Structure 1
């Protein structure tokens, strides 16, 4: 896993082979962040990374200058890996929360400028995630929500949908408020 740009550009972290989570590919990550440059300035933004997995997106957001990143991950080993990566970088700009994303969405009172969600593609509740995020009041005015999902999902009917980007087998739906 590699950080693409920013203050930690080029840093590598070896993801344990036993992990179930698959980091967003460098190709897809680089391309979606290039697209995001047209929608949001991440410097000094508050960001939320849901289903953080290996922490790849969270680390990228910290490297790109986010003021604060909250990474939510339920798996104990993945959460511990994110904490190790943050310690290695020596940053306090990210808080790794070990917990259920849906509980977090219901209890969170904070607003975020940028939200990213990359749930397991086979998650039964996957189709409900955009509404849970967008209707939950977590996204600040002018904020952007990026949802990574499989090709069989289509969220273009949502009035807050902006566009869909496809990079190989990775699909991103972008929403705004």
Structure 2
């Protein structure tokens, strides 16, 4: 895993052999953050990273100056790697939570400017995640939700859907709440 931009650009972290997460590719992260750089002032964002896996998306936000990042990961091995990386970079901007994402969405009172979710592609509830996000009320007014998903899924019928961007096998659907 490599951080592709910002203060920590080029830093490499290697998850262990028993790591099960599918990290977002460098090409996809670069494309995503090129889009986000043109839309947001990272320092002002309150970010939520769901299904964090390696934590790479949270580390990209932190590297670009985001000061308030909450990441949620339920897998113990993944969470341990995330904590080690946070400690290695001495990051104070990331609040890591070892929790079930669906339980977190039901119980969280916090609101965010940007929510990113990268669930396992074989998760049976994947297609329902946008509706869960919008019904959970974790998004502030004028906020963005980004879902990483396989090409087989199409969310264009949802009123909050704005666009999809493709980077090889990685697809990002963007949603906006007004």
How high is the TM-score relative to the length of structure 1?
0.97
User: Which whole-Å deviations, capped at 9, do the CAs of 1:5-36 have from their partners, x for residues lacking one?
Assistant: 11111111012121110110000010011112
* Aligned position for 1:68: 68
* Aligned position for 1:147: 147
- In the alignment, the residues of structure 1 paired with residue 140 and residue 40 of structure 2 have an alpha-carbon distance, to the nearest angstrom, of 12
User: Which whole-Å deviations, capped at 9, do the CAs of 1:33-72 have from their partners, x for residues lacking one?
Assistant: 1112233222221100000001000111111111211110
Q: SS of the counterpart of 1:58?
A: helix
- In the alignment, the residues of structure 2 paired with residue 56 and residue 175 of structure 1 have an alpha-carbon distance, to the nearest angstrom, of 21
Matches within 5 A, 1:149-168: 149-168=149-168
User: Which whole-Å deviations, capped at 9, do the CAs of 1:95-132 have from their partners, x for residues lacking one?
Assistant: 11111000000001111111100000110000110111
- In the alignment, the residues of structure 2 paired with residue 39 and residue 122 of structure 1 have an alpha-carbon distance, to the nearest angstrom, of 31
- In the alignment, the residues of structure 2 paired with residue 147 and residue 130 of structure 1 have an alpha-carbon distance, to the nearest angstrom, of 8
* Aligned position for 1:77: 77
- In the alignment, the residues of structure 2 paired with residue 114 and residue 41 of structure 1 have an alpha-carbon distance, to the nearest angstrom, of 11
Moved more, 136-145 or 150-159: 136-145
- In the alignment, the residues of structure 2 paired with residue 43 and residue 72 of structure 1 have an alpha-carbon distance, to the nearest angstrom, of 20
CA contact (8 A) 1:2 1:11 kept: yes
Structure 1: gaps of 5 or more residues: none
How high is the TM-score relative to the length of structure 2?
0.96
